[in-house]
Chain A
């Protein structure tokens, strides 16, 4: 009898322990630990560019998580992404003139939406709209602005199945994404070299739904994050005429070579004997072995 009883107790203990461990795993080591389980209300915001923001990314105020991104869509006819934010009910009273900004956690981290409060007395309600937004920063834009001249469109050329001429496509490959305001709208069809001009012709297959892209839009080769894959970003222009099948994208911006930028930075920043590099930041092809870019080596 005692034998049987010890079985029963031990088995019961085993089962209880198992379920306790399951509860621990499910609630303490997963996103459940972060999610306020309570009700939430939805507000929306338009961003010019959402970058790598994904649904379920956190929404933060002063670094504190108050909700999550519900959905991200491109509104047809507008070069803007509509982002719906689900905010926990306990965080009522957010002023309706607050500013929504897309931030990145660290250099390589995920992106999230940060809200900074305005001064309005009126609070955001369910279905409310955040009018003031700041788009995600593109690393290329920042680097380009920082190093000067790098972000200017450098070539006129281009076509719906649109083609574009690039002096340098970097590691862009067929099948790469074409994005507008951070939302995928198509893919790269072909990347071929023209024999006469020695530049790259990129064919962009853009989704028929997105036929409201002005014909003076610019196409640029961007990189997702610091070490991500490359994609083509369309930056809409202001023309009343829209791109049609067979058209050319007029303005293109080639892929920025990180090595070039760093090389330029090192040369400009150090007392180099290459006088050509001083001043305007124009690239010199006879580039500097002596500047010794830090080689990724073994420890």
Chain B
């Protein structure tokens, strides 16, 4: 009986979180025009969440592409189809791994820091102080980070994909000895700019960017103003972002394929 109440509590809690997050997102959209006055701040956030994440994104992209090429070469050699390695690496990265892994890394690298920063502002009453001084904290703190995330995630995803394909080339051509021309011509013969780049990379990463940054900002903004609360909020950012990314990935794929 107890357990059942507990479970209901968890479910209704999750629903309440989703609902509150969506409502917060609408409020945040209302604050976006106001944040245009703080354009410098938005730019600084793009630098912080985007450009500073390049190292981890590019390194991971390179390794993902390399390991994919290695695995595929091993499997495809059973069928004598190693010349398809480049094609499969590109399609796997463009459609799935690029957007998803980038968004997951972004949630860990930038989402947590957004939550912690805003959460600490909340815990140390800086946000209340802004309201006192008639500065809209949504427009000055939340919206610039939100916009920066939306700009940064698609760009980071594209960088991830580029590094992934180059990593696949590095392993496939330089190491395993697939012919360079075969690698590229098979890729260009099969990969489609609309189905793979636009539907895969761009639309998915754009949606993931909105969702991950919204969750991060929401968790920070609504955190209980204690050090424990900030810790929980940071954890919830990663958990909720990961679930949202993978669930949305499935839904988007179902619609886009």
A residues in contact (CB < 8 Å) with B: 4, 7-8, 10-11, 13-15, 17-19, 21-22, 24-26, 28-34, 58, 108, 110
Contact = CB atoms under 8 A, between A and B. Distances in A.
B158 A21 contact: yes
Given A29-B188, A30-B197, A31-B191, A14 B46 contact: yes
B160 to A, nearest CB: 9
6 contacts: A11-B43, A11-B51, A15-B155, A22-B158, A29-B165, A31-B188
Contacts of A32: 188, 193
Contacts of B192: 30-31
B104 interface: no
Contacts of A29: 90, 165, 184, 187-188, 191
B43 A18 contact: no
A262 to B, nearest CB: 17
Contact of A7 (B44, B152, B190, B193): B44
Nearest to A6: B47
A18 B188 contact: no
Given A4-B44, A14-B155, A26-B197, 12 more contacts: A14-B46, A15-B155, A17-B159, A18-B158, A18-B159, A22-B201, A25-B197, A29-B165, A29-B184, A29-B187, A31-B188, A31-B189
Contacts of B201: 22, 25
A10 B47 contact: yes
Interface residues of B, number: 33
Contacts of B7: none
B40 A10 contact: no
B50 A14 contact: yes
Interface string B124-157: 0000000000000000000000000001101110
B196 interface: yes
Interface of B: 40, 43-44, 46-47, 50-51, 54, 81, 90, 94, 151-152, 154-156, 158-159, 161-162, 165, 184, 187-193, 196-197, 201-202
A108 B82 CA distance: 12
A33 B187 CA distance: 10
Chain B contact surface mostly: helix
A15 B51 CA distance: 8
B103 to A, nearest CB: 15
Contacts of B196: 30
A223 to B, nearest CB: 16
Contacts of A7: 43-44, 47
A22 B198 CA distance: 10
B188 A34 contact: yes
A25 B161 contact: yes
A17 B47 CA distance: 13
B130 to A, nearest CB: 21
Contact of B47 (A11, A18, A26, A108): A11
B162 A25 contact: yes
Contact of B46 (A15, A21, A26, A31): A15
A15 B151 contact: yes
Contact of A108 (B81, B152, B165, B188): B81
A34 B197 CA distance: 16
Contacts of B40: 4
A140 to B, nearest CB: 21
Contacts of A110: 189
A31 B196 CA distance: 10
A31 B191 CA distance: 6
A191 to B, nearest CB: 28
A69 to B, nearest CB: 14
